[in-house]
Structure 1
Amino acid sequence: MRGGQISTLRNGIDLTPIYRGPVPEDAAIIDRVEFMKGPSLFMNNIGDPAGTFNVLTKQPTGTPHYSATAMLGSWNLYRLAADLDGVLDAKKKLQYRLNVMGMTSESFVRYDYNRRLVLAPVLKYQFSDRTSVTAEYTYQQFQYALISPIVMTPNGYASLPRDFTIHEPSLKPYQVRDHTGFLTFAHAFNKNWSLTARASLLQNDYEGMYMWVTGVNPANPNLLLRNPKYDLVRMQVYSQQVFVNGKIRMPGVTQQILAGVDMNQKQVLGDIYVTYDTYTDAAGKTQPRYYPLHIDAPEYQIQTPDYRTPGGLTHGNTDQSIRYYSLYALDELTFFREKLRLTLGGRFTAVNTHNNVSSVETSSKDQVFTPRVGLSYSIQPTWSVYALYDQTLIPQAGITSAGEAIRPLEGINREIGVKKDWLDGRWNTTLSVYHIHRSNIVATDPNNALYRLQVGKTHAKGIELDVVGEVLPGLNAVINYAYNDSKIDSDVNPQLIGARTPMYVKHVQNTWLNYHLPGSKLSSFSVSAGYQYQGGRGERYATAVQHPGPDYFRLDGGIGWHCKHLKVNVLINNILNKTLIATPWYRNGLYYWVAQAPLNARLSMHYVL
């Protein structure tokens, strides 16, 4: 989004690991997802200036509520989930929420599958109406054959069957165990002032093997030279935050104040991208052992040797850490009966990183102040305009192939916009124009996944339009369009200056419509339909000679029915059964991409006691 990779939060906490992830939150634990374009909330300006999405997990409500959901779908998808919300004492002070889920699924990709288990208990003790303590734990366990169904060929994007794979079923599946915990203390001093203190942890362990092809085979381009790779990784994140917010009313001015401190410690230990299946050639050099696969007539069931890192994580090739703390304050002042709003804020962040990759060590220290100024004015009760200047920061770890430490990503966002409510607020529109500068963007080195590439400076400018709400009686719509123009302004490689930024998309246009049928007999039925479109897509990596990916258009639809205790929904994805790809790039004579699912369907039944 907006020429960058948006930041991820869970319950307002930065739990993004250094290497990969975080593991996606399963729908069973999600209460809602907040999407913020640009630095909409000051708490989120440790992140990319493009924006943030924040996943809020299910919490106890104090009102007993019990439900179960069953889902069936294409490729033998079976899923069961339960959500229990209740109290454990007569005074309703001790409250709980328990979500459990189990799922098994095959895939449209040959030999791929997914097994998943989720367990998420939450306990909350309500000392009084003003004070509470909440303890939350989430355990997610995964087993899948392919860490990513990436395919490659010399013959162009989407030129292989959608079920094509370079995987071998003899390889052991990926095993992932993800633990996340939160401890939150909340206290309201009065109706205007409150304090929140939160500590969280994440530990993600995974191990697995996969096949990889690093370049074209000169002797026979259609014969892929596969070599097995091995990953053993432990990622940990510890985060703590304390903040106060409150309101001060003075004659003619109201102040909304937010201030606090964030602390975060990230570490990754691993043996990553290991080429373990090798032999010694006649010259005494170690060479990877290849398992050829012809893309026109693939033959599988080849036995590959097993492998585990001797001594485990302590003998791996990667040990990286990021430690940062931030002090911040924000003051939103409102004037003229809250028609004019002025936002002033600042954040001081200190970052320390340490990297040990293949016995090459680097360290870095940075101290950065990032200010914010925002102005909003209500021309009418239903019409407002705004302007914003904001600087952001993302602490980053990593090392280049030249042995240099990766610096933090820094961004500057300038934005103006207008918001309008229509028909008594039943639907609203937002139009925004932005100009973003970034420096120190990081990408994986395509020649060696252990190392990183650091782009010098980039810019992104664009326009966004959103329409949300009930545009006609019974018809709800979410319609948006985004235009983006982002390029590299400076780089150590002069050939990249002026090139498109990684993962560039020029046009994005999405629409989703949901219609509740009129009439007392039909009011329990609904029909929905929508599409996703991306035009002018660039590559995963910045390149001097572009190999742009094909445009993306996917049409989805569904029907639903509900009564007092039961909801039934059928969703059909990729109705037109188009051949779609994601994450395209070209390297060393090969086109790489991730195939997307063909026509598929899901039936879900949700029962509430």
Structure 2
Amino acid sequence: MAQIQSLFSTRPVPVSDSTVSATYVAVTLAATVALTFSVAAHAQQRAVPITIGPQPLSDALLKLGQQTNLQFIYQASLLQGLNTRGVKGTLTPEQALDQLLSGSSLRYSRQGNTITLIQRAQPQVAATAAAVDDVTQLGAIVAETYADPGITEGSGSYTSQAMGSSTRLSLSPRETPQSVTVMTRQRMDDQGITQLSDLVQQTPGLAMDSAGNAGSDSSMIYSRGFEIDNYLIDGVGQVNSNYSSIFQTSDMALFDRVEIVRGATGLMSGLGSPGGALNMIRKKPTQEFQALAKLEMGSWDHYRSEVDVATPLNEEGTVRGRVVGVIQNNHSYLERLREKKRIFYATVEADLTPSTLARMGFSYLEDNITGHARSGRPGFFSDGMRTEWSRSDSAAADWAFSKRRNQSFFVSLEHRFENDWLVKGTYNYASSRYNEVIGYAAGGYPNRESGQGVSIWAGRWAGKPRQNSLDIYATGPYTLFGRRHDLVVGATLTHTEEATPTYGLWRFNGWDGAISNIDDWDGSTPGAPVNPASGRMHIREKSASAYITTRLRPADDLSVILGARMTSWDNDKRNYDLAGAETSAVLQAEHDKLTPYVGIVYDISKAWSLYAGYTSIFKPQTYQDTSGNYLKPLLGNSYEFGVKGSLLDDRLNVSAAVFYLKQDNLGVALPGEYAPNGNSAYESVSGARTRGFELEVSGEVLPNWQLSAGFTRSVSKDKDGGVLSTEVAQNVFKLFTTYHMPNVGNGLTLGAGVRTQSAIYQDGRGPNGERFTQKGYAVVDLMGRYAITDKVSAYVNVYNLLDKKYYSGVGTAYYGAPLSMKVGLDIRY
């Protein structure tokens, strides 16, 4: 119970830190009080429980008016013959209305408590009962809005009704011919998911090989046996082949949801991992005022505060804004590891006309870590036997650190035409800065008696990458052979540039990295080597692609999705000495590479669909072999077949899929061998095959019962039948469920989850080539939340309830987190 007790630790904290923490808490409390007074000055509509089943749209609007006290004005002919799939969840009235109208040609405007429905082809009119002929009033809509149908905030659900991360068409999960998962805002809140690494550990089908601290280049995300390095924000790729791990630093407070696509994603990203992609969707302003404040504390001196305020900025609600702020300080179960995070996000959107929406925003993230390590301590003694360290024993030198900054600015403009077509353009500028001094005790193997034989790997890298990206697309319906179909065409340009000093790595003249006795090492000796800049490196990475995707509807129950993306990519990396003379240059370039995509979805009933999907794989690789040569691009084909169901009025999604991938030039790490740059060396394997299947269920099983569960089996083999990627679990099962009891006090929610995986191993890790193995294991988590009032809730999350001890990767002794907990207050208006 030491970890739980550490939640209330009384060990001394430096005065400056405690003062800063107290200031942060005071600021957050002050902000909360300010929000309380703001509520009195804002008329608002809060999220409320809404239940409307599939039925004619006119009947559904009548029920929505009864449940929310809205009044609707519309011409009766507008709704003739229109039906809706219904809506269920804890939603604001406008979120419910957006779902009811999804897929129709209707839009609306709002004045007070009155909603006016009009055809998209008509200009917005401030209609009144006297001005409209043949008008029916149901009880109460007016400022026009175009809501994202995939928004999960306020839904209370573990699934989403729409997502576009696979094809860019706005499709429901059942209509998407690929395995997809949506990590909703509700589930992130329930499980206390604040970091991207937390999300990956809880997402079905994903695995994390953490051989070092989260966010380091030795902490990798896998899907179907392949590393994921495709990170997108609002559908726009984050490109930095030199150091893609910096994108793992993302904090989930900024996002409404994360859409995870498993399998090849070349249609969306052009040059992409065959394993999948993570698309993080930013929070947006809301039509009504809402505010959130969180105060949280946890094991190992974890303190976190959040403020999130969204509000209309003018009386008509045509200009809206949102601000998010996060402060986090924490130690760790690992000695010497300490983290400080500061996050700010602001966004504003405006209805320039009834059909034109402009949005802009800015985000800032600061992440400082001391006691940072790329691995754990050695996994073997010098005699070939396994070591057995305490989970708190760190490999980090006390002078090792990681500092990261990221600033991002984005602006978008979208216009809806009278024919229901949408054109949208987004420009994004991101500037990052990282400075990491490396020092970790993983060299050699300790003598069992003396503790000698271990040395420190040391070095430094730093950089200031900047990315400019422009994404433009148009999407809408068209008619062919008397039937309605969907089309999206677009283009994406990215330019990433980085100028950075270069430093020495691993070994230094006049510096001895040997540790006298690892058993009583405190991280202070030896000191950091003298490591001034030895030169500079300049990197330019450019990508340009154009794509087209159409969903053909040859029959009511059949969809055929055809797509293609043409991509050109250049990565120019040059090194210079201090005098400015070029010492080396590497140019990787691929031009006009075509990525085709075919998907077929057949509806066997209103609830069930069969699907098949195909796409090709093309991905340039930045892995190097032992001679420093870059591997040739990864080539291959991906096939997927499955069945999907949308049950219980679309509140529950289920799926089953089988997949097969064929790859050439697959990069496979060579244990214990290194490239000239100090990174692990790789070799190309041709004729590799990956086979597997996935099962997943997510959503509301019964009223108030949310569930997410998934099982994945994936096996990769070379052409001779040898197993590849043994460091990634072949079998992964994840489950999390909550049940809400509204009649217990003001409301009680209890939840539990389990994460299990099969054994992982890697050969050649010991002094005599011994195999490093982590047997299969299971980790159990719990949560609870109690509504003290209708606005204030208390919550608790317990992680690794059974205190399971396990390695989170193979190669060195880096352990997963032991038993821990977080408690907090959630205040919402």
TM-score, scaled to structure 1: 0.88
Q: Which aligned pairs between 1:99-110 and structure 2 lie closer than 5 A?
A: 99-110=324-335
| 3-state DSSP of counterpart to 1:548 | strand
Aligned partners of 1:355 and 1:398 also within 8 Å: no
Work out whether 1:353 is the aligned partner of 2:578. Answer: no
Which letter maps to 1:582? S
Deviation at residue 398 of structure 1 after TM alignment: 5.8
Greater alpha carbon shift after TM alignment, 458-467 vs 84-93: 84-93
Q: Which runs of 5+ in 2 are unaligned?
A: 1-222, 577-582
Which letter maps to 1:201? Y
Work out whether 1:599 is the aligned partner of 2:819. Answer: yes
Aligned partners of 2:620 and 2:633 also within 8 Å: yes
Residue from 558, 568, 579 that aligns with 1:340: 558
| 3-state DSSP of counterpart to 2:388 | coil
Deviation at residue 362 of structure 1 after TM alignment: 1.9
Greater Cα radius of gyration, structure 1 or 2: 2
Deviation at residue 67 of structure 1 after TM alignment: 1.6
Aligned partners of 1:149 and 1:594 also within 8 Å: no
Aligned partners of 2:632 and 2:665 also within 8 Å: yes
Aligned partners of 1:157 and 1:584 also within 8 Å: no
C-alpha separation between the residues in 1 aligned to 2:600 and 2:251?
37
Work out whether 1:506 is the aligned partner of 2:717. Answer: no
Work out whether 1:37 is the aligned partner of 2:258. Answer: no
Residue from 502, 513, 518 that aligns with 1:290: 513
| 3-state DSSP of counterpart to 2:268 | helix
Deviation at residue 300 of structure 1 after TM alignment: 4.0
Work out whether 1:134 is the aligned partner of 2:359. Answer: yes
2:805 corresponds in structure 1 to 579
Deviation at residue 407 of structure 1 after TM alignment: 3.9
Which letter maps to 1:568? A
1:11 corresponds in structure 2 to 234
Q: Which aligned pairs between 1:66-465 and structure 2 lie closer than 5 A?
A: 66-148=291-373, 150-153=375-378, 154-155=380-381, 159-169=388-398, 171=399, 173-190=401-418, 192-213=420-441, 215-217=443-445, 223-271=453-501, 274-275=504-505, 278-280=508-510, 288-302=511-525, 304-305=527-528, 307=530, 309-310=532-533, 315-316=535-536, 318-337=537-556, 339-356=557-574, 359-367=583-591, 368-397=593-622, 400-442=625-667, 447-448=674-675, 449-450=677-678, 453-457=682-686, 458-465=688-695
| 3-state DSSP of counterpart to 1:380 | coil
Deviations 1:522-558 (A, max 9, x none): 5710110001111032449999985333323210001
Which letter maps to 1:322? E
C-alpha separation between the residues in 2 aligned to 1:597 and 1:60?
36
Residue from 759, 768, 773 that aligns with 1:536: 759
Residue from 739, 744, 752 that aligns with 1:521: 744
Deviations 1:286-338 (A, max 9, x none): xx522415333334433624756448xxx33x43332121111111101222x
Deviation at residue 377 of structure 1 after TM alignment: 0.5
Aligned partners of 1:570 and 1:601 also within 8 Å: yes
Deviation at residue 247 of structure 1 after TM alignment: 0.7
Greater alpha carbon shift after TM alignment, 560-569 vs 416-425: 416-425
Give the root-mean-square deviation of aligned CA atoms: 2.9
Which letter maps to 2:363? T
Residues 355/96 of structure 1: CA separation in 2 closer, same or farther (3 Å cut): same
C-alpha separation between the residues in 1 aligned to 2:239 and 2:725?
22
Deviations 1:84-138 (A, max 9, x none): 2123333333322111111100111011100010111112222023212212111
C-alpha separation between the residues in 2 aligned to 1:542 and 1:10?
37
Residues 574/149 of structure 1: CA separation in 2 closer, same or farther (3 Å cut): farther
C-alpha separation between the residues in 2 aligned to 1:145 and 1:16?
27
C-alpha separation between the residues in 2 aligned to 1:594 and 1:173?
18
C-alpha separation between the residues in 2 aligned to 1:389 and 1:21?
31
Aligned partners of 1:347 and 1:371 also within 8 Å: yes
| 3-state DSSP of counterpart to 1:595 | coil
C-alpha separation between the residues in 1 aligned to 2:562 and 2:295?
48
C-alpha separation between the residues in 2 aligned to 1:50 and 1:324?
20
C-alpha separation between the residues in 2 aligned to 1:399 and 1:81?
42
Deviation at residue 78 of structure 1 after TM alignment: 0.8
C-alpha separation between the residues in 1 aligned to 2:410 and 2:539?
24
Deviation at residue 32 of structure 1 after TM alignment: 1.0
Deviation at residue 45 of structure 1 after TM alignment: 5.0
C-alpha separation between the residues in 2 aligned to 1:106 and 1:447?
32
C-alpha separation between the residues in 2 aligned to 1:325 and 1:515?
47
Residues 535/272 of structure 1: CA separation in 2 closer, same or farther (3 Å cut): farther
| 3-state DSSP of counterpart to 1:150 | coil
Identity %: 19
Residues 242/582 of structure 1: CA separation in 2 closer, same or farther (3 Å cut): same
C-alpha separation between the residues in 2 aligned to 1:507 and 1:597?
21
Aligned partners of 2:626 and 2:674 also within 8 Å: no
Aligned partners of 2:765 and 2:772 also within 8 Å: no
TM-score, scaled to structure 2: 0.66
Residues 251/65 of structure 1: CA separation in 2 closer, same or farther (3 Å cut): same
Aligned partners of 1:276 and 1:307 also within 8 Å: no
Aligned partners of 1:486 and 1:504 also within 8 Å: no
C-alpha separation between the residues in 2 aligned to 1:82 and 1:385?
44
Greater alpha carbon shift after TM alignment, 414-423 vs 268-277: 268-277
Residues 344/157 of structure 1: CA separation in 2 closer, same or farther (3 Å cut): farther
Greater alpha carbon shift after TM alignment, 536-545 vs 412-421: 536-545
Deviation at residue 246 of structure 1 after TM alignment: 0.8
Aligned partners of 1:559 and 1:570 also within 8 Å: yes
Aligned partners of 1:503 and 1:540 also within 8 Å: no
Which letter maps to 1:3? G
Deviations 1:440-472 (A, max 9, x none): 445777524555635333321101001223334
| 3-state DSSP of counterpart to 2:629 | coil
Deviation at residue 379 of structure 1 after TM alignment: 1.0
Deviation at residue 151 of structure 1 after TM alignment: 1.3
| 3-state DSSP of counterpart to 2:814 | strand
Residues 303/296 of structure 1: CA separation in 2 closer, same or farther (3 Å cut): closer
C-alpha separation between the residues in 2 aligned to 1:235 and 1:79?
28
Which letter maps to 1:577? D
Aligned partners of 1:23 and 1:178 also within 8 Å: no
Bigger share in helix = 2
Deviations 1:397-445 (A, max 9, x none): 4654434344443442101001123444443321100001234445777
C-alpha separation between the residues in 2 aligned to 1:542 and 1:440?
24
Aligned partners of 2:446 and 2:452 also within 8 Å: no
1:564 corresponds in structure 2 to 790
| 3-state DSSP of counterpart to 1:296 | helix
Give the length in aligned residue pairs. Answer: 583
Residues 186/35 of structure 1: CA separation in 2 closer, same or farther (3 Å cut): same
Which letter maps to 2:552? L
C-alpha separation between the residues in 2 aligned to 1:263 and 1:52?
18
Aligned partners of 2:733 and 2:755 also within 8 Å: yes
C-alpha separation between the residues in 2 aligned to 1:430 and 1:42?
22
Which letter maps to 1:144? I
C-alpha separation between the residues in 2 aligned to 1:510 and 1:428?
16
Aligned partners of 1:372 and 1:389 also within 8 Å: yes
